[in-house]
Amino acid sequence: MSEQSADANYQGVWGNRIGFGNKAALLMIDFMQGYTREGAPLFAPGVVSAVAESVELLACARRYGIAVVHTNIRYHPGHFADGGIWVKKAPVMKDMIEGNPLAAFCTEVLPQPDEVVISKQYASAFFGSSLAPMLHAQGIDTVVLAGCSTSGCIRATAVDAVQHGFRTIVVRECVGDRHPAPHEANLFDIDSKYGDVVSKQEAMRQFKEQ
């Protein structure tokens, strides 16, 4: 018996479309310079293109009054105790301290003064943060994800988003990773089980209709 392709194996079991709800927010996940500076330990070529693609997406969200939330990662620079086991598993994350240029936001997608910035210590933007109640309080039922990395903080945020009751949308061109294989594998999983992976044009069309 020949092995099925992933698409054929999942067909009819996984992959239902959830779509946009009534009110969306754009989550800009961890677009920090450590991912876009060539030679930095966290450098991820796919994030460079994701930042460039996200400029138009972010401008569209702002134009149509879509709530925008940015996240970054921050640790105590002395002992990193707030990073728990994660910084032991991934000590490269210790670059994410205040004042390190690698932890600064990418200049192309800087938060505006009236946009919320959530600093987190783990992969998911929802874990240990006020993100879910803040969005629920505004009547937001859909979260649109851009950022990095696809296999890390995007995936973790997507899983937690659906578990917090949000329709979860990931914009394909606006997320990136350090290698195409985990990037594509995680987009496949997210689209199959946790949310919808859509094109940037589709996301912007939905922003206009909100």
Residues 6+ apart with CB under 8 A from 53: 171, 173, 174, 200
- Order the strands of the 67-73 sheet from edge to edge: 116-120, 67-73, 24-29, 142-148, 167-176, 196-198
In the DSSP assignment, the letter for residue 117 is E
Catalytic residue among 106, 148, 153, 174: 153
First to last CA, the chain: 48
In the DSSP assignment, the letter for residue 126 is S
Query: How do beta strands 24-29 and 67-73 pair?
Result: parallel
User: Active-site residue 106, yes or no?
Assistant: no
Q: Do residues 150 and 186 touch, judged by C-beta distance below 8 A? A: yes
Active site residues: 153
